[in-house]
C-alpha cells in the first residue's frame, strides 16, 4: 500500500556516517537538521580515490577499503562531537537539498568541520572566572540594532583535549541566537590618509550573537575609514559592511563575555545597547598581533 512521508512541527532529520560519491571523492557525513527552524549541524571527511588504468586503456576509481572507510567514519564522528559546523539554512529542506546544502558548505563555506578554538575559548573563559531596532546617540557616537579541508587516503588523527569539550546544549544555544547589529561612529580625528593629514571618520559595523543569561557573546566586525568631507556612508555601503561583519561572525567569530551588570542590554527589547557596543569596540581596539580584532585570526 503506497504511503507518503512528510515533516511535522518537531521533525529532526539525522544520519550518521552516510557516504556520498562525488566524482573521485567519497564523502562521509554525519548531520542533524531541524526542519522547523532550519538549524543544520554536520561534520565530514573526504576520501580521494586513486585512478587505476588497465592495459586496454580503460580506467576506474579504486574504492576505499573497509579499514579506510571505518577510519574516516571515526574521524567524522569525532569532528561531529567536538567541532561540528552549525549554521541556519532554509526550513523544510528536502532530503536531497539537505545533502546539497552540506556539500556546498564544504566547498564554498565552512568546510568539513567547525572553526578551531571557539569551544576552547568558551571553556577557558569559564575556568577563569528576529532582529530588533534600537538606537543610542551621544557625543557623536551612534549605535543601531537592526532588525575544511579534505582528508587524504589515511586517517586524520587530531589532538582534541576532552577538557575543552563544551556541553552541546550550551554551545548550540549560543550559536542559534539571532544576529543583532551595532554601528559605532567615531569623532573626527586628524590622521594620515594617502600621505596627507586630514580629518578622518572611522565607523565600525558589528554583528553579534549573545546569551543574556551567561554573557557569552560572539561577534564579527567591519571598519570603514574615510575622509570626513565625504560624509557618512550611503545605504548600499552600509549594507555591504554589515554583510562583511555577518560573514566574519558566522565563519571567524571572536568570543568574549559581557559583564553581568550590562547583560540586561542583551534582551530582545532592550532600550539601548550602548555598553555592549563599547565593550565590543574595546575588544576590537585591543588588537591581535597588531591587527584590529574584527575577526578570529587562526
Please state whether the predicted TM-score (pTM) of the whole model is above 0.75: no
Task: Report CA-CA distances (Å) from 155 to 15, 62, 237, 252.
Answer: 21, 17, 45, 26
Instruction: Please tell me the distance from the alpha carbon of residue 92 to that of residue 3, in angstroms, as a whole number.
Output: 19
**Average pLDDT value for residue range 82-90:** 87
Tens digit of each residue's pLDDT (9 = 90 or more) over 146-166: 433 334 433 333 433 333 344
Instruction: Please tell me the distance from the alpha carbon of residue 292 to that of residue 287, in angstroms, as a whole number.
Output: 4
Tens digit of each residue's pLDDT (9 = 90 or more) over 166-187: 445 566 677 788 999 999 998 8
**Shortest CA distance to 192 belongs to which of 227, 233, 157, 243?**
227
Query: Are 102 and 111 within 8 A, CB to CB?
Result: no
Whether 230 has a pLDDT exceeding 70, the answer reads: yes
Query: Are 38 and 88 within 8 A, CB to CB?
Result: yes
In this structure, what C-alpha cell is assigned to residue 204? Answer: 565600525
* Burial of residue 249, with CB atoms counted within 10 A of its CB: 0-12 exposed, 13-18 middle, 19 or more buried: buried
Query: Which distant-in-sequence residues (6+ apart) come within 8 Å of 114 by Cβ?
Result: 43, 83, 84, 85, 86
Amino acid at each position: 500500500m503506497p504511503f507518503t512521508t512528510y515533516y511535522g512541527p518537531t521533525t529532526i532529520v539525522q544520519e550518521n556516517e552516510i557516504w556520498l560519491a562525488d566524482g573521485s571523492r567519497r564523502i562521509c557525513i554525519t548531520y542533524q537538521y531541524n526542519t522547523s527552524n532550519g538549524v543544520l549541524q554536520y561534520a565530514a571527511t573526504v576520501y580521494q580515490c586513486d585512478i587505476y588504468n588497465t592495459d586496454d586503456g580503460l580506467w576506474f576509481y579504486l574504492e576505499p577499503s573497509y579499514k579506510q572507510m571505518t577510519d574516516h567514519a571515526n574521524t567524522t564522528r569525532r569532528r561531529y562531537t567536538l567541532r561540528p559546523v552549525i549554521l541556519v539554512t532554509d526550513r523544510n529542506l528536502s532530503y536531497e537539498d539537505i545533502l546539497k546544502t552540506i556539500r556546498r558548505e564544504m566547498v564554498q563555506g565552512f568546510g568539513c568541520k567547525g572553526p578551531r578554538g571557539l569551544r576552547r575559548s568558551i571553556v577557558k573563559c569559564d575556568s577563569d572566572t528576529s532582529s530588533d531596532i534600537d538606537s543610542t546617540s551621544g557625543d557623536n557616537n551612534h549605535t543601531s540594532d537592526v532588525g575544511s579541508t579534505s582528508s587524504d587516503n589515511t586517517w586524520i588523527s587530531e589532538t582534541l583535549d576532552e577538557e575543552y569539550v563544551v556541553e552541546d546544549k550550551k554551545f548550540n544555544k549560543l550559536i542559534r541566537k539571532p544576529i543583532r547589529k551595532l554601528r559605532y561612529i567615531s569623532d573626527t580625528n586628524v590622521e594620515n590618509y594617502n600621505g596627507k593629514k586630514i580629518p578622518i571618520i572611522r565607523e565600525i559595523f558589528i554583528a553579534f550573537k549573545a546569551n543574556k543569561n551567561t554573557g557569552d557573546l560572539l561577534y564579527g566586525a567591519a571598519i570603514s575609514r574615510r575622509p570626513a568631507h565625504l560624509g557618512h556612508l550611503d545605504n548600499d555601503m552600509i549594507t555591504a559592511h554589515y554583510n562583511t561583519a555577518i560573514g566574519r561572525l558566522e565563519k571567524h567569530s571572536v568570543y568574549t563575555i559581557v559583564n553581568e551588570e550590562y547583560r540586561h542590554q542583551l534582551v530582545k527589547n532592550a532600550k539601548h545597547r550602548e555598553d555592549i557596543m563599547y565593550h565590543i569596540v574595546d575588544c576590537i581596539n585591543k588588537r591581535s598581533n597588531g591587527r584590529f580584532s574584527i575577526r578570529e585570526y587562526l
